[in-house]
């Protein structure tokens, strides 16, 4: 004999079961939610290294000696294409004459074709010393890095100190620290450019943020007024000024030519 099944009302089941809420990906992409502002000055070097930089390429000198495991995938692919740099060791021969810059002598030889013999031919480089850690007589390892028009190297580490020990001197930034500092500068600059671009389109929030940073929002940037409208108004003002100048000189432009000198389209 069949047993009667237990029946429950439909509203009892519907009250306890939670229906999943699905959102279309296209709807998520078109939502205008204000992202939280990131203060790049407070990020750690590890956080800066793991954050991808929104630009096509990073200079090779920043990637040559960096540990690739700390970089995002896009920058790891670029790191694989960088040519490794040879080890360069030199002696500090002058310091203190320029701030954060020392003169390093790198030993070398030159072949004399006339007498078929090698002669000593040392090279001298101006090397960037970020924390003024070096003194004359230190044996240091240097890396290539474009700092200015004359300074194209940076100190990597002290191989053999002269005088005071390494522990008592200011630390020398590692290649990872140099790349993190470069990324920090680029992130801040790109953020300013994005704010100015939004301010030119009439964003009140962007104009307010630029004023809080004591930065100029750009010529003609007004809240609620887009850049195209500002350009159109400036064209009309220039056209009226040209017409006024021609009226003062009792001149008229040729037929089909505007006062600004451009040909009017029919």
Specify the range with the lowest mean pLDDT, choosing from 96-110, 205-219, 231-245: 231-245
Write out pLDDT tens, residues 52-99. Answer: 988 888 999 999 899 888 899 989 998 999 888 889 999 999 998 999
- CA Rg, the chain, in Å? 32
Q: Where are the domains of the chain?
A: 40-80, 88-173
Superfamily the domain 88-173 falls into: Nucleic acid-binding proteins (2.40.50.140)
Alpha carbons 170 and 90: distance in angstroms, whole number: 20
Q: What is the pLDDT of residues 247-260, one digit of tens each?
A: 666 666 666 666 55
Contacts of 85 by beta carbon, 8 Å cutoff, 6+ apart: 64, 65, 143, 144
Residue 148's Cβ-count burial label (10 Å; 0-12, 13-18, 19+) is exposed
What integer pLDDT is reported at residue 29 of this predicted model? 47
């Amino acid at each position: 004999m069949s047993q009667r099944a237990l029946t429950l009302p439909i509203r009892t089941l519907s009250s306890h079961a939670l229906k999943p809420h699905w959102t279309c990906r296209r709807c998520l992409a078109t939502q205008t939610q204000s992202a939280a502002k990131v203060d790049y000055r407070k990020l750690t070097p590890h956080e800066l290294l793991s954050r991808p930089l929104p630009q096509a390429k990073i200079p090779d000198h920043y990637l040559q000696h960096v540990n690739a495991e700390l970089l995002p995938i896009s920058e790891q692919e670029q790191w694989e294409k960088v040519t490794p740099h040879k080890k360069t060791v030199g002696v500090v021969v002058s310091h203190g004459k320029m701030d954060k810059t020392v003169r390093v002598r790198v030993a070398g030889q030159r072949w004399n074709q006339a007498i078929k013999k090698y002669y000593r031919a040392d090279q001298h480089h101006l090397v960037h010393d970020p924390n003024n850690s070096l003194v004359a007589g230190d044996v240091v390892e240097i890396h290539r890095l474009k700092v200015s028009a004359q300074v194209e190297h940076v100190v990597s580490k002290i191989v053999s100190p002269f005088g005071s020990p390494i522990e008592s001197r200011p630390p020398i930034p590692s290649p990872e620290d140099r790349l993190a500092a470069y990324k920090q500068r680029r992130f801040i600059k790109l953020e300013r450019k994005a704010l100015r671009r939004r301010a030119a389109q009439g964003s009140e929030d962007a104009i307010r943020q630029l004023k809080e940073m004591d930065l100029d929002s750009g010529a003609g940037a007004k809240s609620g007024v887009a850049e195209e409208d500002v350009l159109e108004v400036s064209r009309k003002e220039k056209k009226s000024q040209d017409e006024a100048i021609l009226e003062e000189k009792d001149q008229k432009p040729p037929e089909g030519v505007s006062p600004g000198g451009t040909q009017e389209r029919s």
